[in-house]
Amino acid sequence: MQFVLVDQPDSVHFYPFSLTRSLTELRVGIFTIKERWDDLLNTECEIFTRPYLQGLYEVSFLHGEHAVVYLNATCVPDESIKKALFNLKEGASLLDEDGKWIASYSKERSIGKILLGDPNFKQCIPAKFIKNAMHLLQLNAELIQSDFKQVKAKGSPIEVDGSNRLICPENIFVDQGAVLSGVSLNASDGPIYIGKNALLMEGVAIRGPFVMGEKSVVKMNASIYGATSIGPYCTIGGEIKNSILMGYSNKAHEGYLGDSIIGQWCNVGAGTSNSNVKNTAGPIQIWNEHQKSWDTVGNKMGMLVGDYTRFAIQSSINTGSYVGISSNIYGNGLLPKMIPNFSWGITKGYVLEKAIEDIQNWKKMKGFQILDAEKEVLTALFHME
């Protein structure tokens, strides 16, 4: 069977992160959505996404006429879904108990026809879905727990030296090549996973549930609370709580980050902090970019920050802030709660060519290059504004 992960039209609920890449690259728990499906199915899933994003992903299924299994990228996979997929007959679809689409085995190449399916060949099973960007934070602790079991069952952790203080060591997994000394890891409230070739400097204190991605660095005396997931190639410092950094981003200095999601290739300047609770302890509203309206999201929420965005030093970020992609942000006092794509300061004005040049400079610092396909995505988004 060939498996294809599908971004549905409701991916707009994952702005700003779904603007620049497929939902399958969203990180929650230890893995991205795609990594979790690949691991469960023991194969490399392909990606079917919106036309302007498709150039980021190599595909072979679009050029054939054979049947493939299409999968809802927002569905959280499990063993019961895996079993149902491998028993799926051509032309049939899987739905959850409320009629939400999970998968189809089809020769179709149109997303609309795939989702419609054949009403005579539909099977219903229980399933869980990721609803929107903020739901990632709500699911993070649970998925760290389940992902940790998978990693522990398949991998071989390294032994750490006696300079480190490990509480509940059976709930801690330090992967190959990781380096840590003089570190406190407390897994009493949830597992801790330290990825391959990661570096934790002396004085770091971490409470689980916590994930640290491959080749990421946590700097001296950082304090991190769960549930927090740090993606690959990140540099972390200061105080962090209940947050997700998708990967390749920096929050390297003092300052507070809480109840927030940071996209890829972002930088949070020294001394920058975000608010996650109003002084009134009242309900928080956050901008809904798709609906162009404000949504009430409870009484604790930090910020959502799109890919390629950077904050100047000492930035003060308001409770429940929505920050678009590819922006260079600075300003006095509390910053606005909604900052649009391609902002220079706090308003639109980042010239496309300059934005791409600056992204390339930041990528070089981690040994990467901006791809032509990324430039095309940014160009398409710039002209959509």
DSSP-assigned letters across all residues of 86-138? HTPPTT-EEE-TTS-EEEEEES---HHHHHH--TTSEEE---EE--SHHHHHH
Residues 67 and 103 in one domain: yes
Beta pairing class for 68-72 and 101-106: antiparallel
Residues 104 and 152 in one domain: no
CA 376 to chain centre: 22
Q: For 276-305, give one letter per residue: b (16+ CB within 10 A) or e.
A: bbbeeeeebbbbbbeeeeeeebeebbbbbb
Q: How large a percentage of the chain has pLDDT more than 90?
A: 87
Per-residue confidence (pLDDT) for residue 118, from 0 to 100: 62
Of the three residues 100, 130, 160, the one that is the final residue of a domain is 130
Q: Among residues 296, 265, 299, 304, which one has the least CA distance to residue 282?
A: 299
Residues 7 and 118 in one domain: yes
Would you place residue 117 in the very low, low, confident or very high pLDDT band (cuts 50, 70, 90)? Answer: low
In whole angstroms, what is the distance from residue 194 CA to residue 199 CA? Answer: 9
Residues 18 and 97 in one domain: yes
Per-residue confidence (pLDDT) for residue 116, from 0 to 100: 67
Answer whether 0.85 is exceeded by the pTM: yes
Mean per-residue pLDDT of the chain: 95
Per-residue confidence (pLDDT) for residue 136, from 0 to 100: 97
DSSP-assigned letters across all residues of 161-190? -TTSEEESGGGEEE-TT-EE-S-EEE-TTS
222-251 residue pLDDT tens? 999 999 999 999 999 999 999 999 999 999
Question: 253, 235 in Cβ contact below 8 A?
Answer: no
Residues 56 and 170 in one domain: no
Going from the C-alpha of 257 to that of each of 210, 215, 241, 272, 323, the distances in angstroms are: 15, 21, 6, 8, 14
Residues 107 and 186 in one domain: no
Helix, strand, coil percent values for the chain (each to nearest 5):
25, 30, 45
- Characterise 131 by phi-psi region: left (phi > 0), alpha (psi -120 to 50), beta (else): alpha
Of the three residues 101, 130, 159, the one that is the final residue of a domain is 130
Q: Which domain holds residue 203?
A: 133-233+240-248
Of the three residues 67, 95, 130, the one that is the final residue of a domain is 130
In whole angstroms, what is the distance from residue 9 CA to residue 112 CA? Answer: 10
Average confidence (pLDDT) over 342-369: 97
Is residue 100 situated within a structural domain? yes
Residues 17 and 86 in one domain: yes
Residue 115 scores a pLDDT above 90: no
Residues 207 and 179 in one domain: yes
Is residue 161 situated within a structural domain? yes
Is residue 344 situated within a structural domain? no
Number of domains in the chain: 2
Average confidence (pLDDT) over 100-129: 81
In whole angstroms, what is the distance from residue 378 CA to residue 380 CA? Answer: 5
